[in-house]
A and B are shown apart, each in its own frame.
Chain A
Amino acid sequence: MRTDHKETSEMIDKLMFPLALTFALGALAACGGEDATQTDELATELCEHLASGPSVAVTSSTVAASAPDTSTAHTRFDIALTPGVAGQVSYQVGEAGEYVFAFDREVAVALTDPSGAALPAEATERDSAACAELKLWITYDLAIGKHTLALGPGQDTEVRMVVEESGAEHTHE
């Protein structure tokens, strides 16, 4: 009788293990799928604003204190640059988190926090399959406060930039 019970238990174990494994892998795949969907949605969002705006034209500054603000969400900033000079713009963060800075061309980007310390990028990606406009997008983990982006130096006279909070729900008002 004990033997029968043991055999039954082993049989259940044998049956349950692949089932549990399948479930676990399925769950993992679902999580991965969600991440991929979020990434796709973010790329679509960035593409939409890079291609269609709304847009605001600003002129970059050589001085951080007078760098124009580019904090408006869901907006493309057409930033005028001086060839050979790093142009600066500012970005204000009201909610700490990950932010993606997207550009329509290759450009050197250096971001500093409110104290002037350089911040490393969390991730850098290039040439999105989502659209031709999305050439470069860089993810930073930002705290609350005013940050400064130095763009260039390069030969371009303009770069287009869109910034979105990564992973946040995107709502258009």
Chain B
Amino acid sequence: MRSTQHSRSEVWLALLLFVAPGCALEDGQPWGRAVMSLEAAFAPAADRLDPQGRLITSASYAVALDAPTVTLEAFTLAMAGEAGASGAVFDPANPPEGYSLCHNGHCHADDGALVAYEDIQAELDQASGGGGGFSLTVGVDETPTALTATPATLTLEACPGDCALPRGEVQTVSVGVHQLHLSGRMYDATSQGRLPSEGRAFTAALEIEQAVDVAFSRAVDRGEPVEVQVAARFTLPASLLDRIELGELLTDPSGAVDLSTSTPFLQDILQNLSEAEALEVLP
């Protein structure tokens, strides 16, 4: 009999130890906390490169690119869920006015009532209109990053709200592409003579100002780990220069070509960037 009671208590203890680390409702803890990292690369597949290592475009230009540089910004997790709909996140360590002593999933209201965390979050949502989604945006160091096949780790700025996430579901990860600098030499890979046989040097400093995103599903809820790991990689797509008739962009028949102010070039770049899967969340 004693033996049975002992093993039952052991079972309960084991269960408690098993569940406790996964519980997102420790005193003063948010529902979730994002742990974010970001890297960037440019790694065209082998069939995108000619024997000289030049990038082949769908329009059959061969482009010997110097390492492109990119400036990223606004690394963002977008959430949907009943909590945080307004963007105001309930933080048990810093409860809103009228509440105190938040622990074990509830706070003490000034009128003495015990109110659940989710109800307080719902009040916050309602107070500010609600209906939207919560997003957490982390700034990215603005130093241009040279992109190579080996991913470069980007430095992130301090995470607002200590990266706290409300209850709900992370649905999208995105990053803003602020600037892109390309330079190199382009050649005509056809026999149509669209460029001089020695190629043409070019440069382009582009203000991209376009976000790229990727779907990412991760619940932030009771029973889920508090830490939400998001390791994302931006890969400059190999299709970046596809469909661009580079030969037609040459206005000056001699010397290096500066495409920084070419609107058609920028529009094609934006189009190719939006069609590619430039962002991924690493497993």
Q: Is the CB of B190 within 8 A of A93?
A: no
Consensus secondary structure, chain B interface: loop
Q: Contact residue range for chain A? A: 10 to 19
**Is B47 interfacial (CB 8 A cutoff)?**
yes
Report the bound CA distance from A41 to B47 in whole Å: 28
Report the bound CA distance from A96 to B239 in whole Å: 12
* 23 residue pairs bridging A and B, Cβ less than 8 Å apart: A64-B190, A64-B192, A65-B192, A65-B193, A69-B243, A71-B58, A92-B58, A92-B59, A92-B60, A92-B243, A93-B58, A94-B239, A94-B242, A114-B189, A115-B191, A116-B191, A144-B48, A144-B57, A144-B58, A145-B57, A145-B58, A145-B60, A146-B60
Which of B59, B189, B194: most chain A Cβ within 10 A? B59
**Is B56 interfacial (CB 8 A cutoff)?**
yes
Q: Contact residue range for chain B? A: 10 to 19
Report the bound CA distance from A107 to B239 in whole Å: 32
Please report which residues of chain A, range 53-98, place their CB below 8 angstroms from some CB of chain B when the two chains form the complex: 64-65, 69, 71, 92-94, 96
Distance between A116 CB and nearest chain B CB, rounded to angstroms: 5
User: Could you list which residues of chain A lie within 8 angstroms of chain B, going by C-beta atoms?
Assistant: 64-65, 69, 71, 92-94, 96, 114-116, 143-146
Option from A94, A96, A146 in Cβ contact (under 8 Å) with B190? A146
Please report which residues of chain B, range 182-213, place their CB below 8 angstroms from some CB of chain A when the two chains form the complex: 189-194
Return chain B residues, CB-CB under 8 Å to A64.
Answer: 190, 192
Per-residue 0/1 for B72-113: is the Cβ within 8 Å of any A Cβ (1 yes, 0 no)?
Answer: 000000000000000000000000000000000000000000
Distance between B86 CB and nearest chain A CB, rounded to angstroms: 32
Return chain B residues, CB-CB under 8 Å to A71.
Answer: 58, 243
Return chain B residues, CB-CB under 8 Å to A143.
Answer: 47
Q: Is the CB of A144 within 8 A of B191?
A: no
Distance between B277 CB and nearest chain A CB, rounded to angstroms: 12
Return chain B residues, CB-CB under 8 Å to A146.
Answer: 58-60, 190
Report the bound CA distance from A119 to B12 in whole Å: 72
Please report which residues of chain B, range 232-247, place their CB below 8 angstroms from some CB of chain A when the two chains form the complex: 239, 242-243
Residue of A nearest to B192 (CB): A65
Report the bound CA distance from A143 to B56 in whole Å: 10
Report the bound CA distance from A145 to B62 in whole Å: 10
Report the bound CA distance from A143 to B243 in whole Å: 15
Residue of A nearest to B237 (CB): A94
Which of A64, A65, A69: most chain B Cβ within 10 A? A65
Residue of B nearest to A92 (CB): B58
Distance between B263 CB and nearest chain A CB, rounded to angstroms: 19
Report the bound CA distance from A144 to B191 in whole Å: 16
Return chain B residues, CB-CB under 8 Å to A92.
Answer: 58-60, 242-243
Residue of A nearest to B245 (CB): A69
Distance between A96 CB and nearest chain B CB, rounded to angstroms: 5
Rank and list the top 7 A-B pairs by shortest CB-CB distance, nearest first: A146-B60, A92-B58, A114-B60, A94-B58, A145-B60, A65-B192, A114-B190
Q: A115-B189, A146-B59, A146-B60 are in contact. List 15 more A-B contacts (CB 8 A).
A: A65-B192, A65-B193, A65-B194, A71-B243, A92-B58, A94-B239, A94-B242, A94-B243, A96-B47, A114-B190, A143-B47, A145-B57, A145-B59, A145-B189, A146-B190
